[in-house]
């Protein structure tokens, strides 16, 4: 029943949100920042409803680790276990945030419009040149004060162990100089993936770790920043399992 209700709610929202998208489009012509902020408020509300319908309760840890008084944005990096990672992250994120998604999602009508409204970017993982353009867009957004979220594994892990982090995922932080905020999420795969296609009532933990400033790291850690961040995140994720 949860699965049917969740899918039905998402479909109905996308259909009946067309007038809201038109209004947001008009707002964006006069004040793009107001459009982004109002769109994010709406998306956060929708994600909260989705989590409620799905029976997902979540505990947020370490939110005080996230600096909110910077001129630039942040780069959130997270492990990736489930389609529910994004809703759980988004309802708890304290800053204006878009996320990096695979380009295939840009083919879904209406969903892509809402994603563009909140500064999401679509990454073509098969085209290096196009991928670089996406990263450059992300750097500009971060410098302008909008945070970005990315899952450095590139795809969902099918086990408790994280897949190797792709070093290129950290270019936005390297080039913009913004802090990296590791985000450790546990339990989202128990919502759906572990018993797909059925959604089950689940408790999830999301923990924001202390910011990492690349310029303060040793030369070796800067060179292999992906491995360095992944090691720190593994320690936090292991503590969730205790």
Nearest to 142 by CA among 165, 170, 104, 111: 170
Q: How many structural domains does the chain have?
A: 1
Tens digit of each residue's pLDDT (9 = 90 or more) over 76-115 = 999 999 999 999 999 999 888 999 998 899 899 999 999 9
CA 89 – CA 14 distance, rounded (Å): 21
% of the chain with per-residue pLDDT over 90: 76
CATH code assigned at 190: 3.40.1130
Tens digit of each residue's pLDDT (9 = 90 or more) over 158-213 = 777 888 998 888 999 999 999 999 999 999 999 998 888 899 999 999 999 999 99
pTM above threshold 0.85: yes
Chain mean pLDDT for the chain: 92
Tens digit of each residue's pLDDT (9 = 90 or more) over 126-148 = 887 888 899 999 999 999 999 99
What pLDDT is recorded for position 242? 58
CA 65 – CA 87 distance, rounded (Å): 20
Instruction: For residue 26, give its domain range.
Output: 2-241
CA 176 – CA 30 distance, rounded (Å): 28
């Amino acid at each position: 029943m949860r699965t049917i209700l969740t899918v039905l709610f998402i479909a109905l929202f996308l259909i009946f949100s067309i007038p809201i998208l038109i209004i947001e489009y008009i707002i964006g012509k006069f004040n793009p920042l107001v459009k982004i902020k109002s769109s994010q408020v709406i998306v956060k509300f929708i994600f909260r409803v989705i989590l409620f319908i799905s029976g997902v309760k979540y505990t947020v840890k370490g939110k005080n680790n996230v600096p909110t008084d910077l001129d630039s944005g942040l780069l959130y990096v997270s492990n990736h276990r489930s389609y529910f990672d994004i809703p759980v992250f988004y309802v708890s994120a304290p800053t204006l945030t878009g996320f990096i998604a695979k380009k295939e999602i840009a083919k879904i009508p209406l969903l892509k419009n809402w994603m563009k409204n909140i500064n999401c970017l679509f990454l073509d993982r098969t085209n290096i040149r196009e991928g670089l353009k996406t990263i450059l867009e992300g750097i500009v957004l971060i410098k302008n004060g909008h945070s970005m979220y990315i899952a450095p594994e590139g795809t969902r892990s099918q086990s408790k162990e994280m897949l190797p982090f792709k070093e290129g995922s950290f270019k936005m932080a390297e080039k913009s100089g913004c802090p990296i905020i590791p985000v450790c999420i546990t339990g989202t795969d128990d919502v759906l993936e572990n018993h797909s296609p059925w959604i089950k009532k689940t408790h999830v933990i999301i923990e924001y770790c202390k910011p990492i400033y690349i310029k303060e790291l040793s030369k070796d850690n800067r060179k292999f920043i992906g491995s360095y961040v992944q090691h720190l995140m593994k320690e936090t994720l292991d503590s969730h399992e205790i």
